[in-house]
């Protein structure tokens, strides 16, 4: 009977509260308000999924509104791209709106404000106006135009509209409060003159409203109930409300602005300006370069709409800014593709394998399962013959017992084919392996049901038949930046962290012929390698596949651990290394619950700490002197450890004395006791 308590994010809670306080459910309406000045990225996807998700959850319409009040930056190209991306993500908007649809209403309201003495035309230079604004800590000064008469303001504003003045000569300002602690309330600009054709209104207007005068009013006109934006707009809320106050009619719904944290992804940047810089500097091939965090880039890379929606869902919504690890995004796409991608075989770094006991000239078609996760996915045929390619790294002449691949004298299975045994290698004069010779157990054909075919072997390799293989270009991508948060370093430009090896092109890889028929949106798993999708540059003569993401690879992980190779950007490693625990960590762990113990258990804990303390250095211990007073257990553990170190000849210093002194004076008897013992 009791439902699992559904956990709402803070915005859903606000909406639920409004509903509980009497807001009619059919009044709910949301909007996604992009400025058409760039392409959508994964951060926008969070906002899209939030707004459209809310619409779905509360059964409310969601408008798509292009916030197009600045013709110097905005273009139809972006409008089209944004529309496409949202639909591709799987969302449908109710009304398609444009701020520019409201230019007339906005203008009329501005006239009203002037008439009420709440707005004035300012003819000063931008510099002067900025100077008069003051600073966050010092109040601003009134403009000499602040007290211009209503009639004169009306006349000036009219002439602004009619194009009598040059761009930059006059602006309309709201008359609010030049000494407000909120800089945005210091007589903000409402209108400026811009001499540029607008992508929708053409040259009809030469004055354009600013964001603050347009956004809330647009929400109001569309009767948006909840206007959700990112954190940096928080200070705008006061102005948003002020603007609404000027025009608000009690019979209508009053929109409410609320703010949430934007979604950042590790190892990339997310601002349109920086993405544009990557494009313009030719660091990437375009907005839809598969390394870009744009929706179009992710799409080209092979990400699915479902995976991006899942990512947004798992990331959640909050008011605290942070960086979400790309591993979550990768998890989402693997999860989706594992269930849907067709399994195929392709060899990226080939070495020739000859099956010496397989008849020359013979070829046979073998059956390959399209997707083991989906019994209804069917099968396809794959040609087999005496000479194959296998992956170079799948063979070692001599290998340890942990190598589950082909070695001399060992058996492995060729996926969907036969069990083979490595026999000998052919090398060139430099000692490079040019051919591997093996024999195969002709009774072991996969799916034949013979006893031989059921045999357990150490590993399974993917392969292609040389004579049947088709060639293709493969593009593998690595993270675009070497740093987890490339734009978070003061004094360093994010471009310094660009990963020079983010793109690896394999000009000639060998694929099974089934792939000749691949179409643009098809998703494949190249078995044991990863997920791949056809690139839009591909033609039937020249196939090109993008690697979306690799399979999880515990083998590669093991390999790179001891060597600690620097060729792959290492995982973020803040704090303690995981998996192993040092003595000091162990002491902390035991100490934590120290005060809950008594009798034998207490004695045992103390003994363990003293024992572990033998392996602790002063450098490790010293930082723990700052342990919060309330973490008594930890401080006791530190005190005991300190005692052991002092016993071993550690020289006292002021830090140590201070720590002991604090312990002596502590309310906790156990701590005071330990302190006394080493005083």
Partner RNA sequence: UGCCCGAUGGUGUAACUGGCAACACGUCUGAUUUUGGUUCAGAAGAGUCUAGGUUCGAGCCCUAGUCGGGCAACCA
Q: Least distance to RNA from the beta carbon of 339, Å?
A: 8
- Selected range binding RNA among 408-416, 429-437, 533-541, 613-621, rule: CB under 7 A: 408-416
Cα–Cα dist 304/341, whole Å: 11
Residues 342-361 that bind RNA (CB under 7 A): 343
Active site residues: 35, 262, 272
Listed residue (445, 460, 461) closest to 351, CA to CA: 461
Residue with Cβ nearer RNA (289 or 663): 663
Q: Is residue 124 within the footprint of RNA (CB under 7 A)? A: yes
Q: Is residue 19 within the footprint of RNA (CB under 7 A)? A: no
Q: Is residue 73 within the footprint of RNA (CB under 7 A)? A: yes
Q: Is residue 208 within the footprint of RNA (CB under 7 A)? A: yes
- Selected range binding RNA among 49-57, 141-149, 313-321, 474-482, rule: CB under 7 A: 313-321
Single residue of 53, 302, 350, 633 touching RNA by CB under 7 A: 633
Q: Least distance to RNA from the beta carbon of 328, Å?
A: 4
Cα–Cα dist 659/423, whole Å: 69
Strand partners, 14: none
Residue with Cβ nearer RNA (430 or 456): 456
Judge whether 227 and 216 are in contact, CB under 8 Å: yes
- Our CA angle for 500, 502, 505, nearest 5°, is 110
Listed residue (417, 292, 294, 280) closest to 40, CA to CA: 294
Residue with Cβ nearer RNA (136 or 431): 136
- Selected range binding RNA among 19-27, 498-506, 572-580, 654-662, rule: CB under 7 A: 572-580
Cα–Cα dist 271/303, whole Å: 21
CA distances in angstroms from 328 to 265, 314, 316, 333, 479, listed in the order given = 10, 8, 12, 9, 14
Q: Least distance to RNA from the beta carbon of 429, Å?
A: 29
Residue with tokens 């009977």: 1
Cα dihedral sign, 671-677-678-679: positive
Residues 469-508 that bind RNA (CB under 7 A): none
Q: Is residue 552 within the footprint of RNA (CB under 7 A)? A: yes
- Which tokens hold the place of 88? 């591709």
Q: Is residue 589 within the footprint of RNA (CB under 7 A)? A: yes
- Selected range binding RNA among 110-118, 121-129, 376-384, 508-516, rule: CB under 7 A: 121-129
Q: Is residue 641 within the footprint of RNA (CB under 7 A)? A: no
The footprint of RNA on this chain (CB under 7 A) covers a number of residues equal to 118
Single residue of 142, 231, 658, 677 touching RNA by CB under 7 A: 231
Cα–Cα dist 258/234, whole Å: 8
Single residue of 22, 202, 361, 372 touching RNA by CB under 7 A: 372
Q: Least distance to RNA from the beta carbon of 178, Å?
A: 12
Residue with Cβ nearer RNA (332 or 543): 332
Cα–Cα dist 20/34, whole Å: 30
Residue with Cβ nearer RNA (289 or 605): 605
Cα–Cα dist 391/402, whole Å: 18
Contacts of 637 (CB under 8 A, 6+ apart): 587, 588, 590, 591, 594, 609
Q: Is residue 572 within the footprint of RNA (CB under 7 A)? A: yes
Single residue of 95, 557, 568, 679 touching RNA by CB under 7 A: 557
Contacts of 678 (CB under 8 A, 6+ apart): 639, 642, 643, 646, 660
Residue with tokens 């008469």: 149
Single residue of 21, 59, 137, 564 touching RNA by CB under 7 A: 137
Q: Least distance to RNA from the beta carbon of 391, Å?
A: 10
**Axis crossing angle, helix 236-247 with helix 103-115, rounded to the nearest 10:** 80
Q: Least distance to RNA from the beta carbon of 47, Å?
A: 12
Residue with Cβ nearer RNA (127 or 249): 127
Residue with Cβ nearer RNA (175 or 215): 215
Single residue of 28, 42, 82, 129 touching RNA by CB under 7 A: 129
Single residue of 115, 234, 252, 471 touching RNA by CB under 7 A: 234
Q: Is residue 565 within the footprint of RNA (CB under 7 A)? A: no
Judge whether 418 and 445 are in contact, CB under 8 Å: yes
Cα–Cα dist 293/323, whole Å: 14
- Which tokens hold the place of 41? 């990225």
CA atoms within 13 A on the CB side of 645: 22
Cα–Cα dist 464/445, whole Å: 16
Judge whether 45 and 60 are in contact, CB under 8 Å: no
Q: Is residue 460 within the footprint of RNA (CB under 7 A)? A: yes
Residues 170-189 that bind RNA (CB under 7 A): 170-171, 181-184, 189
Q: Is residue 608 within the footprint of RNA (CB under 7 A)? A: no
Single residue of 227, 294, 324, 548 touching RNA by CB under 7 A: 324
């Amino acid at each position: 009977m009791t439902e699992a308590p559904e956990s709402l994010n803070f915005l859903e809670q606000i909406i639920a509260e409004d509903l509980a306080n009497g807001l009619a459910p059919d009044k709910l309406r949301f909007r996604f308000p992009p400025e058409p000045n760039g392409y959508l990225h994964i951060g926008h996807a969070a906002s899209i999924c939030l707004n459209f998700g809310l619409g779905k959850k509360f059964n409310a319409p969601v408008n798509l509104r292009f916030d197009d009040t600045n013709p110097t930056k905005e273009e139809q190209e972006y409008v089209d791209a944004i529309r496409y991306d949202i639909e591709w993500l799987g969302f449908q908007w109710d009304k398609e709106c444009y701020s520019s649809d409201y230019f007339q209403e906005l203008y009329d309201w501005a006239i009203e404000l002037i008439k009420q003495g709440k707005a004035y035309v300012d003819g000063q230079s931008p510099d002067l106006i900025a100077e008069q604004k003051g600073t966050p800590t010092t109040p601003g000064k009134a403009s000499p135009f602040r007290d211009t008469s209503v009639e004169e303001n009306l006349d000036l504003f009219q002439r602004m509209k009619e194009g009598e003045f040059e761009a930059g000569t006059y602006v309309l300002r709201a008359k609010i409060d030049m000494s407000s602690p909120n800089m945005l309330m210091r007589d903000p600009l409402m209108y400026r003159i811009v001499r540029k054709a607008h992508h929708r209104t053409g040259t009809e207007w030469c004055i354009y409203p600013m964001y603050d005068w347009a956004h809330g009013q647009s929400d109001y006109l569309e009767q948006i109930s909840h206007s959700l934006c990112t954190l940096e707009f928080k200070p705008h809320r006061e102005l948003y409300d002020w603007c609404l106050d000027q025009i608000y009619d009690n019979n209508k719904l009053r929109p409410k602005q609320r703010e949430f944290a934007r979604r950042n992804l590790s190892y990339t940047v997310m601002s349109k300006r920086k993405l544009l810089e990557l494009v313009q500097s030719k660091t990437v091939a375009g907005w839809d370069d598969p390394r870009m965090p744009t929706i179009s880039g992710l799409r080209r890379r092979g990400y699915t709409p479902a995976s991006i929606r899942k990512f947004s869902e798992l990331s959640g919504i909050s008011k605290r800014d942070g960086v979400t690890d790309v591993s979550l995004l990768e998890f989402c796409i693997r999860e989706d593709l594992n269930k849907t991608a067709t399994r195929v075989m392709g060899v990226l770094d080939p070495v020739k394998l000859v099956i010496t006991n397989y008849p020359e000239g013979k070829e046979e078609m073998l059956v390959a399962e399209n997707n083991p996760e989906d019994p209804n996915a069917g099968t396809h045929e794959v040609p087999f013959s005496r000479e194959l390619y296998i992956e170079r790294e799948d063979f070692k002449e001599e290998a340890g017992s942990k190598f589950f691949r082909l070695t001399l004298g060992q058996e492995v299975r060729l996926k969907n084919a036969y069990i083979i045994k490595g026999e000998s290698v052919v090398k060139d004069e430099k000692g490079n392996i040019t051919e591997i010779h093996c024999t195969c157990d002709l009774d072991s054909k996969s799916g034949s049901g013979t006893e031989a075919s059921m045999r357990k072997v150490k590993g399974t390799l993917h392969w292609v038949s040389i004579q049947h293989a088709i060639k293709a270009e493969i593009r593998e991508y690595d993270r675009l930046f070497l740093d987890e948060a490339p734009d978070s370093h003061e004094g360093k430009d994010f471009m310094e962290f660009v990963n020079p090896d983010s793109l690896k092109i394999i000009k000639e890889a060998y694929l099974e012929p089934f792939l000749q028929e691949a179409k643009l949106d098809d998703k494949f798993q190249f078995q044991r390698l990863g997920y791949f999708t056809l690139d839009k540059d591909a033609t039937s003569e020249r196939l090109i596949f993008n690697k979306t993401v690799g399979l999880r690879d515990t083998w590669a992980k093991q390999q790179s651990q001891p060597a600690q190779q620097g060729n792959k950007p290492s995982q973020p490693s803040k704090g303690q290394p995981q998996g192993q625990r040092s003595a000091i960590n162990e002491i902390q762990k035991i100490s934590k619950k120290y005060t809950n113990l008594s009798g034998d258990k207490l004695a045992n804990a103390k003994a363990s700490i003293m024992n572990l303390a033998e392996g602790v250095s002063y450098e490790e211990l010293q930082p723990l002197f700052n342990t919060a007073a309330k973490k008594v257990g930890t401080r006791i553990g530190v005190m005991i450890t300190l005692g052991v170190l002092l016993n071993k000849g550690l020289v006292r210093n002021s830090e140590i004395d201070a720590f002991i002194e604090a312990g002596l004076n502590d309310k906790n008897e156990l701590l005071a006791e330990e302190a006394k013992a080493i005083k």
